[in-house]
Structure 1
């Protein structure tokens, strides 16, 4: 299963973020990420806040990954040969940005996880690290996030880089946006430019199921209650929550469904709704037999004979059908989830 993480920002006090961190922990997140690129005048403040975050991570048995450079270590008054002392604070891994020699990276990798910067890593750099004696079992690769619109990675570039990393045996880390965009630009913090305006959960599913990313971190600080529910139910029960707007329709629609294993091209077909129809007396009268754009939730009416009662979601635009009642519509933010509801995948309607 993918590792889920959130970002912690040391320009805010730990007290301001503690409730949020506790909440995400309770909803299945197991990793914290923070940056130690520290303004010189705030060095002492940041060191204290890092220790508070590290203490929290240690208490909750969460991983704590820090983005670090030689200069930020100086601000923390830690020498390169003392960097392993961060383990005692509760730091479990370091994302090495720039300025560390291969020998230092190799030393760090003997004691803790090292995440190499995907944007600056080349095949020859990997070979140099291996020759320096780096512990491959403690090596991972992490992509950046991109605050400025139009600067996020293209999907082809992302896939090409990840192909190399996986050939070398590295797991891959990347970022998705949160629900509360962070300043100064407030344009969200994704790795892929495609995800700039996506919901956190949809971007996560795209990275995990579509791109096989091993660790996904929320770049912005803040997730809504709805997003947290989506993450929790997926982590605990393998259920994809689809938020949908219901029409004024009285026919009872079950909450939990799973897609038939013989996956249809144009629609998601609820296997559960068909089985329920076989065990109860249902007469679904024709109502709202309208056009069915992508994301339309429908139920087959009594004109469809033995198909009566089948619940579907359209995966493409379909015309009106007098045998199919329109029940509601999946919200725009969750339409990107539809391609990832494969055969046997459970989904749940959250009516909004």
Structure 2
């Protein structure tokens, strides 16, 4: 479900790439995306690629390689283990169909540009449909990433044919040259943390998410590795001193109520697990949008009620502001009734 990308022949050294692969493997990340046709690579590209693929195979990653016709004919692909090849520049639909009939790996189609007429033509040419999957492009240039509407439209088409779909999110630590503006599939993700963007992609029907950029930081990678389909992970920032009991409630895995309120994510978990009194704060202020609040003992039987606000509310001496979840706005707006969520403090 989660993966990283590595690039040979660019600014990141072979040694750094190998270290990155080892860190990802230790965090339980199972997938790697490798590009075999970047125009700006240096003269060591072929040698680095061979070494990297052998290391990827040794660490038992599932490897998807993006390849052009030029490198498909040039590299001895039988030396390596691929889960999938993403056939890019130079392949026509008949060639794609023929390769799918004989390959030991899946054929990965371009999810961002594929048309239904292409799919029908590939199938009519004798393709083995069970050997296909798809992945969206990433977009190095600012302002050129996909809209959510188009991504959903393409996903719906591919799902009708039974294909699994991948997508990309950016990292902030080391962006891929030469543009260094992030490598997201969706434009709205370009400046977001991988943790947030990845969860958003999964909610849109993506099956596998890769960090597209050259390298995520240690924290970015560790946070990204937490992403799962069981519950949302919501990063929060504690703005003022809170009690031990409030912090304990924040650490629980919560479930949004089936009737959460029009402008609330409302935990049905917190009040059930309240153990100690929650005192009111002296400076209970205006409740801002995406504040995480916990009701204190002045709210009587609602003490311990935990909410994430989706609009501003006036100050209430019965309600303590515990944290700010504003950086998680994109995914907060997608939490539905009954969804589970967990805070990352």
Distance 1:311 1:350, change over 3 A: same
**Number of paired residues?**
336
| 1:259 match | 255
Distance 1:120 1:307, change over 3 A: closer
Mapped to 1, the partners of 2:165 and 2:291 lie a distance apart of 35
Mapped to 1, the partners of 2:278 and 2:121 lie a distance apart of 70
- Alignment of structure 1 residues 118-197 onto 2, 5 Å: 118-180=111-173, 181-197=175-191
| 2:6 match | 8
| 1:206 match | 200
> Residue deviations 1:86-113, cap 9 Å, x none?
2431233111113224343234323211
Distance 1:239 1:87, change over 3 A: farther
Mapped to 2, the partners of 1:283 and 1:136 lie a distance apart of 59
After TM superposition, the structure 1 stretch with the greater mean CA deviation from structure 2, 96-105 or 122-131, is 96-105
Shift of 1:167: 1.7
| 1:285 match | 280
| 1:46 match | 45
| 1:268 match | 265
- Alignment of structure 1 residues 228-243 onto 2, 5 Å: 228-235=221-228, 238=231, 240-243=233-236
- Alignment of structure 1 residues 99-118 onto 2, 5 Å: 99-109=90-100, 110-111=102-103, 112-118=105-111
**Residues 280 and 319 in structure 2, CA contact (< 8 A), matched pair in contact too:** no
- Normalising by structure 1, we get a TM-score of 0.86
Mapped to 2, the partners of 1:233 and 1:4 lie a distance apart of 10
Alignment RMSD, CA only?
2.4
**Secondary structure, aligned partner of 1:233:** coil
Shift of 1:286: 4.3
| 1:321 match | 316
Mapped to 2, the partners of 1:291 and 1:206 lie a distance apart of 29
Q: Which runs of 5+ in 2 are unaligned?
A: none
| 1:90 match | 81
**Residues 256 and 337 in structure 2, CA contact (< 8 A), matched pair in contact too:** yes
**Secondary structure, aligned partner of 1:148:** coil
- Normalising by structure 2, we get a TM-score of 0.88
**Residues 152 and 205 in structure 2, CA contact (< 8 A), matched pair in contact too:** no
- Alignment of structure 1 residues 50-61 onto 2, 5 Å: 50-61=49-60
Shift of 1:136: 0.7
Is the aligned partner of 1:309 residue 2:304? Answer: yes
Distance 1:97 1:269, change over 3 A: same
Mapped to 2, the partners of 1:98 and 1:212 lie a distance apart of 26
Mapped to 1, the partners of 2:40 and 2:256 lie a distance apart of 58
**Secondary structure, aligned partner of 2:238:** strand
| 1:34 match | 34
After TM superposition, the structure 1 stretch with the greater mean CA deviation from structure 2, 241-250 or 192-201, is 241-250
After TM superposition, the structure 1 stretch with the greater mean CA deviation from structure 2, 57-66 or 335-344, is 335-344
Shift of 1:39: 4.9
Shift of 1:276: 2.3
The structure whose residues are more often helix, as a share, is 1
Mapped to 1, the partners of 2:35 and 2:3 lie a distance apart of 14
| 1:70 match | 69
> Residue deviations 1:42-84, cap 9 Å, x none?
46x222222222212222221111111112235xx34xxxxxx
Shift of 1:220: 0.8
**Residues 235 and 327 in structure 2, CA contact (< 8 A), matched pair in contact too:** no
Distance 1:333 1:17, change over 3 A: farther
